[in-house]
Amino acid sequence: MIDATNDEQHTALNGRVAHVVSLIRPGGGPSGYLYNLASISERHPERNFDILAVTRSDQRSKWQPSERFGTIIRLLRPLSPSLRSVALMSIQFWIAKRSKPAHANLGFMKSLQAYSCLVFHERGLAESYMQMSSVPGQKVFVMPHAPTDLSLESLEDYENYLGARINKRLLLHRMREEEIDFYEGADGIVAPSRYSLDSYFIGDDEIRSRFDHMLINRLHTVITGVPGKESTRSEEYRSKVNPHGKRYVVGYFGRYNEQKGFDLYLEVVGRMQNRSDIQFVCAGGGGLQSHSGDADNLIDLGWI
């Protein structure tokens, strides 16, 4: 536990808001969202918030499974769906028992104590701080970025990289209980809209009821959309995939997984194979494969 009361530097809160994440870098997700926000906010010294990250990179990076993730996949692959669920539950329990609460260095964690309000954009870092520190008067919020609850997203990611199913019923409720406990432990949730959280905890009435009760009084909406103008780079890509402008282009940009709806996109591609007036174009990467080589109407740009 970090004791703020014993550190004179952090006894007085500074009245500012800190948006907190492990990494900021160009691209999508929380890291890309805060990278863009940081790039703009640096030109406005009058702002009352800061972007704080353990690491910053100016290079776009492709997500790669960690060594631990790869090891878990190899352990689960030969098992049946039910045994995969039991094994994954045991692995997660083992990891939780041996994981240190310090998700980032102590100096970074202590620097957060000066802020009146913290908005965490990832669960791991938020949990570490909430376990280690308690600052009187400081508010701690969480801003989820996933299209569905992290528990379901995590299990579906495992399934995508396994190429096989996991019996989610044995594991999902327990994971969701831990997730809702985490949200209830914060002072509130920040989201661009109440409706952006509609897909959280679907199918689990008990936990969804707890979540809805929390959102009544502890949801803070922050509109994140901004006007933008089309870049010349998008025109370059359009000229490659539709050089004569005679086709209707249906695009997908993002992670190739079920949470983002890529499976539904591929289903539409398959149903439109005979439509020569429609060109499908996708860009991104993830656990699901586009199999663009088998579809004449689909171009997969990969990571761009």
Q: Is 36 exposed, middle or buried (0-12, 13-18, 19+ CB in 10 A)?
A: middle
> Would you say residue 286 has pLDDT above 70?
yes
User: What interhelical angle do 81-98 and 150-162 show, nearest 10?
Assistant: 120
Contact 57, 157 (CB under 8 A): no
> Would you say residue 10 has pLDDT above 80?
no
- Residue identified by tokens 């060594």 is 67
Supply the pTM of this predicted model.
0.71
Dihedrals phi, psi of 221, to nearest 5 degrees: -95, 135
Please tell me the predicted confidence (pLDDT) of residue 1. 39
158-201 pLDDT, tens digit per residue, is 887 777 788 888 789 999 999 999 999 999 999 988 889 999 99
Distances from the Cα of 279 to the Cαs of 62, 162, 170, 234, 288, in angstroms?
25, 30, 41, 16, 20
Q: pLDDT band at 213, cuts 50/70/90? A: very high
Strand 117-120 to strand 49-56: parallel, antiparallel, or no bridges (unpaired)? unpaired
Please tell me the predicted confidence (pLDDT) of residue 5. 40
Question: Average pLDDT of the chain?
Answer: 82
> Would you say residue 46 has pLDDT above 70?
yes
Mark residue 268 as left, alpha or beta (left: phi above 0; alpha: psi -120 to 50; beta: remaining): alpha
Distances from the Cα of 280 to the Cαs of 15, 99, 140, 251, in angstroms?
49, 44, 43, 6
